[in-house]
Amino acid sequence: MKTIFRKKVSDQRKQLILRVGEEMGIEKYGGYTLFDDSDYVDYANPKWKRRALHLNVRRGIEEASPDHILELISDPECDHFVWLSKRIAESERVHMLWVYAHELRHVVQDTLYPGLSEMTEPLRKSLHAGSAKQPTAFPIEMPQEFDAELAAMDVVVKILGDEEYRTYRRREEAANRKAADYFRRFDELAAPWSGDPIADTRRMAISL
């Protein structure tokens, strides 16, 4: 995957970004990662109102996309597209690297666990429809998302060190009750994690 910077970042930050790509092995995949210089909070296609996303372009092109993005995902050699908004590109470096690694993990998942996304989507819709016994409070309740978060944490700690990660986490927990609840749930899910999002997704579907 080729990394494109529409958003100007410092050389130090750029090297960290490129190192995340190396750690995640994105050179094996065809496509692009884009650090955008814009946010699209008012865009008609709700996908671009997010802060970041991964598209498996092999499943289809998002025709309703900003022109510069449509040009990239229309490339016949583009299998995957990872997009980071201006908000993420400008965010604290721990957060930026975490979000980037999370989205790259979705690229890796499509190879390691073919069919995982197709399994996850109906489960997600079922949970959002309120059919679950205990509706999810955080996206990480979904095995696909928790796996991506674990990978992101591992990469951040490897590149920046455990202390910087812990300092960031303590600061987030102190400033935001939702963040504190999130990290508490993150720890709860980590303890029994099987390491196999396919198996955990199946078990979750059976339990509904």
Q: What is the pLDDT of residues 70-86, one digit of tens each?
A: 999 999 999 999 999 99
> Which has the minimum average pLDDT: 39-43, 137-141, 152-156?
137-141
Q: What is the pLDDT of residues 9-29, one digit of tens each?
A: 999 999 999 999 999 999 999
Q: How far from chain centre, in Å, is Cα 189? A: 17
Q: What are the φ and ψ backbone dihedral angles of 192, each rounded to 5 degrees?
A: -95, 10
**Model confidence, pTM:** 0.89
Residue type at position 125 = K
Helix (H), strand (E) at residue 34: strand 31-35
3-state secondary structure of 159: helix
Model pLDDT for residues 162-202, shown as the tens digit of each residue: 999 999 999 999 999 999 999 999 999 888 888 888 888 77
Q: Give 33's strand partners.
A: 3, 82
